[in-house]
Amino acid sequence: MYNVREQRKFHRIATESIVKYKKAGSADEQKEGITKNLSANGIFFIAAEAYEINSLVEIHVVSGTDSTPPLNAVIEVIRSNPGESEGEFEIAGLIKSFK
């Protein structure tokens, strides 16, 4: 068995919710993706386009329940890789500010 120490400050919670996103500060139309997990300071989601590392992206996550408010934030992209399917990209971001 591996002796691996978790380096993250916050636990990730697996979730599949709609996330709307666009380049921060742009007049671009929001696109839709799907979250894979969230934590107190980060997000991992599937998008239809890649983003450059360190770029800022505005996100709006819809929880799907009335008891949980939507998440509006600006993230800094820390990872952007091709996804499992053609035209998908895996985006990992660090939450920089809440809107």
Please write the tens of the pLDDT for every residue from 1-22: 445 455 567 788 899 999 999 9
Average pLDDT over residues 15-42: 95
Average pLDDT, the chain: 90
Give tens-digit pLDDT for 63-74: 877 777 899 999
DSSP-assigned letter for residue 40: S
Closest to 94 (Cα-Cα) out of 47, 57, 46, 49: 57
Domains of the chain and CATH, by start:
13-98 (2.40.10.220)
75 has pLDDT over 50: yes
Report the candidate in 50, 55, 58, 36 with the shortest Cα–Cα distance to residue 80.
50
pLDDT of 4 reads 47
Read off the tokens for 33: 């993706």
**Looking at residue 67, what is its pLDDT?**
77
Predicted model pTM: 0.87
